[in-house]
Amino acid sequence: MNDGHSGIENRQVNQGSSGNFQLILAYLKQGTGHGEFVIHATSNNFYSFGLQPLEFLAEIGFTHYSGECLFHHDRCFYRVIATLARDEYGFENFVQIQSIYNAFKIFAGRIGELFQLRQQEDRILREIGIRSERRAIFGQPVEIEISEKDIPLWVNEVKFQHLCELEIQRDTAQREISNLSGYLPLLYGIGEPFEEAVVRALQFLGLNAERAPKGFTVDILAQTPNGMQKFGFEATGTAGAIKKDSKKLTQLLEFERIKEHGEKTVLVANTYNTMPINQRMEQEHFTPQVLEFLSRHPILLMTGWNLYCMVGDVLEESRSKEEIIEILYTTNGQLKYARSA
């Protein structure tokens, strides 16, 4: 029975999340010798109206598993995305498998965005009295075949020790490169790439951070693990300074008005994002009119470069995460952040 769960081995090979969704990529080995790559998806969040996260998973092609899932218990929605053929000598196509991993990471990182867009579509169609139709986004599972260039799996048992060590170093370095590169949009990004980089930075600094629902007054909501310090972040990228006519100021004040838990309001502005860093230093990032306009409110104004430097200081262990969070929570007005020597 092809239920995405039954086999002689079911192990996690990758994971990812975005928005309210948590995804696991698993390799399911069958007794016949072939295997399947299966996405196991779930969401622990519910909405009081509109499209539900689990309903969305079913709409785009996932199937609810009625049994006990190894990864998500009784709340698993699964989808087989690839089948892997193994011949009697134990070959495996590593190039195609890596493409499966890469596609999964992109999908896992953007499914939250897909859900927000689908929610928006659902609201609009309901307002005009049209029922949206289910649209699966997956085709048939990819069939991974074997070629004469593929390396048999049993070679791993007799590889030179130094080769194994180098492969581990390569994989570790690649993961670190990929992770650290995720902060670079703090220096040049706009829109969603910049917001995602801000979320990544805040999570690294120890905050539970995620993008707010589409249409909310700020872009990102965050808090310390104990919930004692809460934040609302507005994130924007611009080729110049933040001026008084920026709609972001209205959003900041609206969040100040509606917030209910003492959240710290923060504007992270990637100002002069097309300009090299050394040329930005003498620029005016927030005009005097902006500073005066917001001076009556406990709002922090900072740049993408500021946040990038904070991440760098923690990576270099010259400042602690707790120290950075305290700066974010207690500072009002324009941040004057100096990198630790």
pLDDT exceeds 60 at position 87: no
pLDDT exceeds 90 at position 341: no
* Domain made up of 185-333: CATH architecture: 3-Layer(aba) Sandwich (3.40)
The CA distance from 212 to 266, in Å, is 14
The overall average pLDDT reported for the chain is 86
Residue 320's pLDDT is what? 95
**CB of 198 within 8 A of CB of 220?**
yes
Query: For the whole model, what pTM was predicted?
Result: 0.62
Q: Which of 123-137, 194-208, 306-320 has the lowest mean pLDDT?
A: 123-137
Of 27, 20, 195, 14, the C-alpha closest to 103 is 14
Quote the Cα angle for 177-181-182, to 5°.
125
Residue 90, sorted as left (phi over 0), alpha (psi -120 to 50) or beta, turns out to be: left
HSE (side-chain half, CA atoms, 13 Å) at 72: 24
By DSSP bridging, strand 9-18 and strand 299-303 are unpaired
| Continuous segment of H or E residues that includes residue 326 | helix 321-330
**Percent of the residues in the chain that have a pLDDT greater than 90, as a whole number:** 49
Using 50, 70 and 90 to split pLDDT, how confident is the model at 148?
low
Name the amino acid, one letter, at 48: S
Mean pLDDT of 170-196: 89
Using 50, 70 and 90 to split pLDDT, how confident is the model at 220?
very high
Of 183, 290, 190, 286, the C-alpha closest to 238 is 190
Residue 191, sorted as left (phi over 0), alpha (psi -120 to 50) or beta, turns out to be: left
Domain boundaries, the chain: 9-158, 185-333
Residue 44's pLDDT is what? 77
- Which tokens is 41 given? 């998806």
Of 232, 240, 231, the C-alpha closest to 190 is 240
Query: Tens digits of per-residue pLDDT, 256-293?
Result: 999 988 999 999 999 999 999 999 988 999 999 999 99
Query: Can you give the length of the chain in residues?
Result: 341
The CA distance from 57 to 59, in Å, is 5
**CB of 270 within 8 A of CB of 194?**
yes
Using 50, 70 and 90 to split pLDDT, how confident is the model at 48?
very low
